[in-house]
Amino acid sequence: MELSTIPLAFPAFEKELQLEIQEQGEIRFFKTDEQLMRTGQYFRSTMLILNGLVKIYREDDDGNEFFMYYLQPGQACALSMVCAAEHKKSAIMAKAAKDTEIIAIPLEYMEEWMGKYKSWSQFVITTYRSRFEELLSTIDHIAFRGMDERLEFYLKKHQETLGTNLIPLNHQEIANELNSSREVISRLLKKMEQFGKVKLNRNAIEIIQL
């Protein structure tokens, strides 16, 4: 691994920590739609995202997906940190939303660096807090908002994360992730299109103004 990769994704880390990550971490590559984590899996390491995009979601017994959030370069999976530290099974799924490069950090170093490097302990705490706040926001929209507001929130999150107004998802995929039906999502998207908020394409949603 080139040393320049780590400072680019994690510029706040001390030079010494960046060197240790290079020495102790293991680079892994995942193609689009390839699984990184599965429900019931045990962790011996946590993953830091170097390049690409990782989708975190839950899956029910029927294989239906519920979208939670994305992980981008410079971020880490808080839930994998918790599961690794407490030797618990994963309750979530993760897959590459596009070609992705990560570095896996063995559990023993993750714990050691908490007391050794201030930037690492701050990073871990910030990771926990950010994911917790993101989950609270998602829960808030599920519990207290109608499906039309949930759909707009969902599209905005994808717009922000992907950095584009063209969301490469069809109506059925959105329905699956919002635990709704294709008919409901199609009706709401058509209404949004009539109000000039989106433009509907065959396998993508173009955001005009939300």
Q: Which of 47-51, 81-85, 180-184, 193-197 comes out lowest in average pLDDT?
A: 81-85
Lowest mean pLDDT among 31-40, 62-71, 99-108, 149-158: 62-71
CA distance readout (Å), 122 to 25, 27, 133, 143, 154: 19, 23, 16, 31, 29
Q: Mean pLDDT across the stretch 59-77?
A: 83
User: Looking at residue 4, what is its pLDDT?
Assistant: 55
- Nearest in space to 12 (alpha carbons), one of 128, 104, 124, 102: 124
| DSSP reduced 3-state for 69 | strand
Residue 3, pLDDT > 60, answer no
Q: Are 123 and 68 in contact, with CB atoms under 8 Å apart?
A: no
Is the model's pLDDT at 183 over the cut of 70? yes
pLDDT at 1: 47
Answer yes or no: pTM beyond 0.85: no
pLDDT at 9: 87
All domains of the chain, ordered by start, with CATH?
5-142 (2.60.120.10), 146-207 (1.10.10.10)
